[in-house]
């Protein structure tokens, strides 16, 4: 789990942090965090890909969402037994308590 957070979460946080800081021009004296660098990076990517630069951020955001769903889907498949056991402990026990209380109420009401 630690390596998942390092290899998946690290780049996601780094990219999101850079995008947010450079978009709002919070540079702290670092050129890569300026709005000029932000626009330059997206112009270069737009030129290389042959698409308008303003279409790149939504594409990257969509790719990050899809990657996140894939990563957590694989994690859920890997930990399927633990998730099912947790779900049964959480919800089946409450249903069995309700069923037993309903059964005891029904037996009390049918008693003479």
For the stretch 10-35, pLDDT in tens is 999 999 999 999 989 888 999 989 99
Q: Cα dist. 8→12, 15, 106 in Å?
A: 7, 11, 54
Convert the pLDDT of each residue in 29-86 to its tens digit: 999 899 999 999 999 999 999 999 999 999 999 999 999 999 999 888 888 888 888 8
**DSSP secondary structure letter of residue 52:** -
**Where exactly are the structural domains of the chain?**
2-78
The packing angle between helices 35-49 and 56-78, to 10°, is 80
Cα–Cα distance between 106 and 100 in angstroms, integer?
Answer: 10
């Amino acid at each position: 789990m630690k390596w998942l957070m390092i290899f998946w979460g690290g780049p996601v946080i780094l990219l999101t942090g850079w995008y947010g800081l450079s978009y709002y021009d919070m540079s702290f004296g670092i050129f890569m965090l300026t709005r000029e660098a932000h626009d330059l990076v997206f112009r270069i990517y737009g030129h290389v890909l042959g698409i308008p630069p303003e279409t790149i951020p939504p594409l990257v955001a969509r790719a990050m969402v899809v990657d996140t769903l894939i990563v957590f889907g694989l994690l859920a498949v890997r930990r399927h037994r633990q998730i099912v056991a947790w779900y049964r402990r959480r919800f089946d026990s409450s249903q069995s308590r309700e069923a037993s209380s309903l059964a005891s109420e029904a037996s009390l009401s049918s008693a003479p």
